[in-house]
A and B are shown apart, each in its own frame.
Chain A
Amino acid sequence: MGYGKYKEFADKIRKDCLYMCNVGASGHIGSMLSSADLIAVLYEKILNVDPNYPDDPDRDRFILSKGHAGAVVYAALAEKGFFPKEWMGTYYCDNGKLMGHISHHVPGVEYSTGSLGHGLPVCCGKALALKKQKKESRIICLMSDGDCNEGSTWEAIMFAAQTGLDNLTAIVDYNHIQALGFTKDIINLKGLTSKVAQFGWGVVDIDGHNYQEIEEALSHLPLEKGKPTFIVAHTVKGKGVSFLENTVASHYAHISDELLEKALQEIGD
Chain B
Amino acid sequence: MRKAFNKTLLEIAREDSRINLVLADIGYGEIEPFANEFPNRYYNVGVAEQNMTGVACGLGMEGNIAVTYSIANFPTLRCLEQIRNDVCYHDANVKIVIIGGGVSYGPLGVSHHSTEDLAIMRALPNIVVMAPCDIPEAIAATHAMIEHDGPVYYRCGYKNEPNIHNGAIDFKLGKAITVEEGDDLTLFFVGPIGIEAKKAAEAARKRGIKTRLVSMHTIKPIDREAIVAAARETGKIITVEEHNLSGGLGSAVAEVLADEGALDVKFKRMAFPDIYVGEVGSQEWLRSLYNLDAAGIEKEIYAICGV
**Residues of A bordering B, CB below 8 Å:** 104, 111-115, 117-118, 120-130, 132-133, 151-152, 155-156, 158-159, 162-163
* Inter-chain contact A125/B46, CB cutoff 8 Å: no
B48: contacting residue among A122, A125, A155, CB under 8 A: A155
Known A112-B90, A121-B51, A129-B61; 19 more pairs at CB < 8 Å: A112-B85, A118-B54, A118-B81, A118-B86, A121-B82, A121-B86, A124-B51, A125-B58, A126-B62, A128-B43, A128-B58, A129-B58, A129-B59, A133-B62, A152-B50, A152-B51, A155-B46, A156-B51, A158-B46
Asked if residues B58 and A155 are in contact (CB atoms below 8 Å), the reply is no
For B61, the chain A residues whose CB sits under 8 A away are 122, 125-126, 129
Instruction: Please name 13 pairs of A and B residues whose Cβ atoms are closer than 8 Å in the assembled complex, sorted by A.
Output: A111-B90, A112-B85, A115-B81, A118-B82, A128-B55, A129-B61, A130-B62, A133-B63, A155-B45, A155-B50, A156-B51, A156-B54, A159-B46
Q: Are A125 and B59 neighbours in the complex by a CB distance under 8 Å?
A: yes
Tell me whether A122 and B54 are in contact (CB under 8 A).
Answer: yes
Smallest beta-carbon distance B92→chain A, Å: 9
Interface residues of B (CB under 8 A from A): 40, 43, 45-46, 48, 50-51, 53-64, 66, 81-82, 85-86, 89-90
User: Contacts of A112 on B, CB cut-off 8 Å?
Assistant: 85, 89-90
Whether B58 pairs with A151 at a CB distance below 8 angstroms is: no
The interface residues of chain A, by DSSP majority, are classed as helix
Which residues of chain A have C-beta atoms less than 8 A from B40's C-beta?
Answer: 132
| In the complex, chain A residues whose CB is within 8 Å of the CB of B86 | 118, 121-122
**Of A117, A125, A128, A132, the contact of B50 (CB 8 Å cutoff):** A117
Q: Which residues of B contact A128 (CB under 8 A)?
A: 43, 55, 58-59
In the complex, what residue of chain A is closest to B87 when comparing beta carbons? A122
Please name the 4 residue pairs, one residue from A and one from B, whose CB atoms are nearest each other, closest first: A125-B58, A121-B54, A129-B62, A155-B51
Closest to A135 in B: B62
Complex contacts, B55 vs chain A, CB 8 Å: 121-122, 124-125, 128, 156, 159
* Complex interface: chain B residues within 8 A of A121 (CB): 50-51, 53-55, 57-58, 82, 86
